[in-house]
């Protein structure tokens, strides 16, 4: 094997090594930073660690919104099951009863303590998974 070839193979190995470790690191950081998304029904059959951040999506149940001081509590439903949510802060403009919502937070004693409440800014828009629920 001549030296140019040797060098080339060495370079290629180096590139492959770096790419694999790069992709590995990205995938690792991906897996440690993702949030699982559940509907209330899916949540019912699962045990989730208290320190695992999750997303819960569904419709805001009619008549469930209550405000105590700066806290707001409401119930997310998919018209089969539902789950209670508590949130400290200002809910977005499009947050209203019987309208789609996604919350990001932690599950403790069958109650979601939300860090973030999201509503969609296209009022006709609905997450595809909920659309199916609604059509039935």
Binding segment for another protein (CB under 8 A), chosen from 6-14, 75-83, 106-114, 126-134, is 126-134
User: Which of 4, 104, 1 lies closest to 56, judged by CA?
Assistant: 104
- β-sheet bridge partners, residue 88: 71
| Residue 16 CB partners (closer than 8 Å, separation 6+) | none
Element (H or E) spanning 23, and its range?
helix 3-32
| Unique residue bearing structure tokens 């997310």 | 76
Beta carbon nearer to another protein, 22 or 63: 22
Q: Please give the size of the binding site for another protein, defined by CB under 8 A.
A: 38
Q: Minimal distance in Å, beta carbon 34 to another protein?
A: 5
Question: What is the closest distance, in whole angstroms, from the C-beta atom of residue 97 to another protein in the complex?
Answer: 13
Q: How far is the CB of 28 from another protein (least distance, A)?
A: 9
Does residue 22 bind another protein (CB under 8 A)?
yes
Q: 106 and 50 in contact (C-beta within 8 Å)?
A: yes
Touching another protein, residues 51-90 (CB under 8 A)? 55, 67-70, 72, 88-90
Q: For residues 2-21, which are near another protein according to CB under 8 A?
A: none
CA-to-CA separations, 98 to 65, 95, 104, 110, 123, in angstroms, rounded:
11, 9, 19, 21, 12
Write out the residues near another protein by the rule CB under 8 A: 22-23, 26-27, 29-30, 33-38, 55, 67-70, 72, 88-94, 96, 102, 104, 118, 120-125, 127-129
């Amino acid at each position: 094997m001549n030296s140019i070839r040797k060098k080339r193979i060495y370079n290629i190995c180096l590139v492959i090594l770096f790419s694999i470790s790069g992709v590995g690191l990205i995938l690792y950081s991906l897996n440690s930073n993702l949030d699982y998304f559940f509907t209330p029904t899916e949540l019912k059959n699962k045990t989730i660690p208290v320190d695992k951040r999750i997303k819960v999506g569904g419709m805001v149940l009619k008549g469930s919104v209550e405000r105590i001081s700066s806290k707001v509590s409401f119930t997310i439903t998919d018209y089969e099951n539902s789950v209670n949510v508590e949130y400290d802060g200002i809910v977005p403009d499009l947050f209203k009863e019987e309208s789609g919502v996604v919350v990001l937070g932690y599950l403790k004693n069958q109650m979601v303590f939300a860090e973030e409440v999201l509503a969609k800014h296209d009022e006709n828009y609905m997450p595809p998974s909920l659309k199916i629920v609604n059509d039935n």
